[in-house]
Amino acid sequence: MSEQEEYTPPQVWTWNKENGGRFASINRPIAGATHDKELPRGEHALQLYSLATPNGVKVTVLLEELLAAGHDAEYDAWLINIEDGDQFGSGFVAANPNSKIPALLDYSGGSAQRVFESGAILLYLAEKFGAFIPEDHAGRTECLSWLFWQMGAAPFLGGGFGHFYAYAPFKIEYAIDRYTMEVKRQLDLLDKQLAGREFILGDQYSIADMAIWPWYGALCKNAAYDAAEFLQTESYEHLNRWVNAVGDRPAVKRGRMVNRAWGEPSQQLLERHDASDFELRTQDKQQ
């Protein structure tokens, strides 16, 4: 289907597998497992099952930042390839009934504590280690406001703009215009928030930065949807300054590599079990 056609919704919707765009093969209108597959488990208390999409990068960045700050946050990170349907295995569904990456299992208390949804994992780890979240009530509230803003904004950026601009089987002007307007508003909001501030909260680097950066940093660097020129992302001066500053942090560079299965092989670390893996187990060395 190459041209936009008039569409009248039927009285009762039925699923058409052929009309879902690039990710039609993994999208379905029901929840639950499609096959039996147990999750692997490493030696550390924290077991992460993920992929280096923006939502996955949030968590690996925080874990690497925690380690860099001296916290005992060692972890095993296992690749969940969503295009192969790994998220529908019985073990992963038990960890996250929503079948979306990332999912975390924390065995530090003996039995496994599951945590799913990337924002919830960030908050869980920040509270567990007492780091990257303000201690005072006002600062914590501001941090959570921006964390929840990102969780609510991302569907407009990814599922809305990204889908219709880059992945839909045909272009719909109305949909692209509608979501472009919203994404431009979000970019302008961030640019204004970062004017005169080093980080989202001011001087303190926090999980708010870690939640927002993977999505909007990728957009500004043209790593998401190849849309930087279309959106004129270079025009957001304060946002770009922050994107560059956060992206230059060593822990952020490491976090971006974990569970990455595309791009430059030297930047792909499919699994992470030890700090030495960044030097010894990237894909260029495995090959």
Instruction: Reply yes or no on whether the pLDDT at 66 is more than 90.
Output: yes
pLDDT of residue 1: 41
According to the CATH classification, is domain 7-132+256-287 in 3.40.30.10?
yes
Over residues 92-105, mean pLDDT: 98
Angle between helices 54-68 and 250-257 (to 10 degrees): 130
Residue 3 — very low, low, confident or very high, per pLDDT cuts 50/70/90?
low
What is the distance, to the nearest Å, from the Cα of residue 162 to the centroid of all Cα atoms in its chain? 14
pLDDT tens for 206-234 read: 999 999 999 999 999 999 999 999 999 99
In the Cβ-directed half-sphere of 93, how many Cα atoms lie within 13 Å?
Answer: 13
Give the residue extent of every domain in the chain: 7-132+256-287, 137-248
pLDDT tens for 237-278 read: 999 999 999 999 999 999 999 999 999 999 999 999 999 999
Q: What is the pTM of this model?
A: 0.95
pLDDT tens for 37-64 read: 999 999 999 999 999 999 999 999 999 9
pLDDT of residue 7: 85
Q: Which CATH architecture best describes the domain 137-248?
A: Up-down Bundle (1.20)
pLDDT of residue 23: 74
